[in-house]
Amino acid sequence: LDVGGQYYLGGVQTWTAVTDALLNSRNSLDGCLANFSINGRMVSLDSLSAPSSARPAVGCQRAPGCTTSTCGNGATCVDAWSATTCQCPGGVTGRFCEELVSVHFDGDAALVVNGSNPVASFVFEFTTTMTVGHLVSFLQNPFPQADQNATTLTLAIVAGRLQMTVNYSLAIHPSNGLPSSPILTHQLRVSDGNWHTVRIEVSSGSINVSVDGSNRCLTSSCTMGAVGDLAETAVFGNVANISTPGGPIQFGGCVRNVLRNRVSVDLSQVITSSATSSRLFTVANQPLRAPTVGCPRENMCASQPCSNSGTCVSTWLGFECRCSQDNAGTYCRQASSLTFNGLSSYVQFNISVGSATFGTSGSFELRTRSTDGLLMYAKGPLVNGNFDFMLIEMVQGHLQLKATLGSGVGTVRLHRSVNDGAWHQVHWRRDVRLFNLTLDNAYHASNSTPGHFTGFQIIHASGLAQVSVGSLSPGST
């Protein structure tokens, strides 16, 4: 090995097509090198040349490693030598995963967002599949006493739609106590499992509430009268022990991205992690359990369970893999299509009689421009010099099924071309001796095998049915 010229340690000065071809990545070393020698001679590393911006520090230096307190909210700490990074779970963000942005309510949990000043703007997102539930109420604290100058507002889900109820301030309606407004119902379904955005704006004596940009007003123009300041404390979820205007008292679902007066609410100031989700709040002298970190439905895809470029979609019960057209199965791990070369390619599979039966019905999809070729062939064991079989093939561009139950061969042929390069659906079914062939759910043909035998002896002594696709396997007859 004769190597002359320049040596590089830890990285290269300029990336070229040659270095890209030789190296697996452009990542430079994040760590230390020591005691470097060539031909037995130690190289003084501090004498090597490098631009000041790229020169490594003398000695072996590293950032403090991970500790139990490096990352918050159950995050995973990654020691990257020169720095530590935090991999946040769903619903958590920030450099150290210190900011909680989404929480999950299981029906009994409650979340209280306090403030020292009146609410001028309040925005949040929620998702649920519950058709009935209490989402949020704006109340006075301590509960249940009401500030005469404050207006309380409740958003609840009834019959899958968002309902809004306002209780007016005593200062504006002194003779009527705390009258409830007419109930306004948002016309769109919100219990569909999607994320919905609620925006509440208070200005000039009116309250405007919008859901996903669709405004519903709570103002005198809606014959609801003027309103005072909105109560400063928002209570999400369980309000069983709080005096509120009627309706549902619990909520199951998730809430995220809460902004109060256009300032993001760090929910970790209210709850810190799933490990402390049993932390209690006292509302109206009654304990309320805190919601848990994150949104379980959003976390279902964190492990990337879908293979072969399948798309993972979180659901409340787990996840769903949406596979490409060439794959199928729960995790998209099953190949749903194959390409045969028209010469020697084939596949053979065995069907265990213990898990499935063969010989009653089946289907597949076909796309080709060939005029002739074997599509499927199943053969039973040799008995007294004979064997049962069934095959589907193309003959002059048409589908043909042949089968025998031991007393003669029956043939079913469809006089429709399938070698046009388009996808075609092929279904076959056996009813005793009658075999049916269907193309594209529109064209049908059938015929019976001759003789009086009705059993289809396709299972071998091993308990398996052997099926060849695309061509015969070597040694098959």
Could you count the other beta carbons within 10 Å of the beta carbon of residue 115?
16
Euclidean distance between CA atoms 168 and 313, whole angstroms: 43
- 449: helix, strand or coil: coil
Euclidean distance between CA atoms 321 and 142, whole angstroms: 48
Phi, psi of 112 (to 5 degrees): -110, 120
Residue 458's region, left for phi above 0, alpha for psi from -120 to 50, else beta, is alpha
Tell me which DSSP letter residue 43 carries.
Answer: -
Tell me which DSSP letter residue 114 carries.
Answer: -
* Cβ 5 vs Cβ 13: under 8 Å: no
Could you identify the residue written with the tokens 């499927």?
A: 376
Could you identify the residue written with the tokens 């014959």?
A: 223
The H-or-E segment that residue 20 falls in is helix 17-22
Strand blocks (E) in 114-160: 121-127, 133-139, 150-158
**From the centroid of its chain, how far is CA 228?**
43
Measuring CA to CA, which residue among 194, 66, 40 is closest to residue 129? 194
* ∠ CA 51-55-61, rounded to 5°: 170
Burial of 102 (0-12, 13-18, 19+ CB in 10 A): buried
* Cβ 458 vs Cβ 359: under 8 Å: yes
Phi, psi of 434 (to 5 degrees): -90, 120
Cα end-to-end span (Å), the chain: 58
Q: Peptide bond before 144: cis, by omega within 30 degrees of 0?
A: yes
Written as tens digits, the pLDDT of the chain (477 aa) is 444 545 556 555 565 655 555 666 556 666 677 777 776 777 676 666 566 666 677 777 777 788 888 888 778 888 877 778 888 877 777 888 877 778 888 877 888 887 777 788 999 999 988 888 889 988 765 444 444 455 678 888 888 888 887 765 433 333 434 344 545 666 678 888 888 999 988 876 677 788 887 655 444 344 334 455 677 788 888 876 554 445 667 888 899 889 999 988 878 765 533 233 333 334 444 456 788 877 877 667 877 889 988 988 877 667 889 998 888 888 998 888 888 887 777 777 777 655 555 668 888 889 999 999 888 888 888 877 788 888 889 999 999 999 888 888 999 999 999 999 998 999 989 888 899 999 999 999 999 998 888 877 777 777 777 777 777 655 555
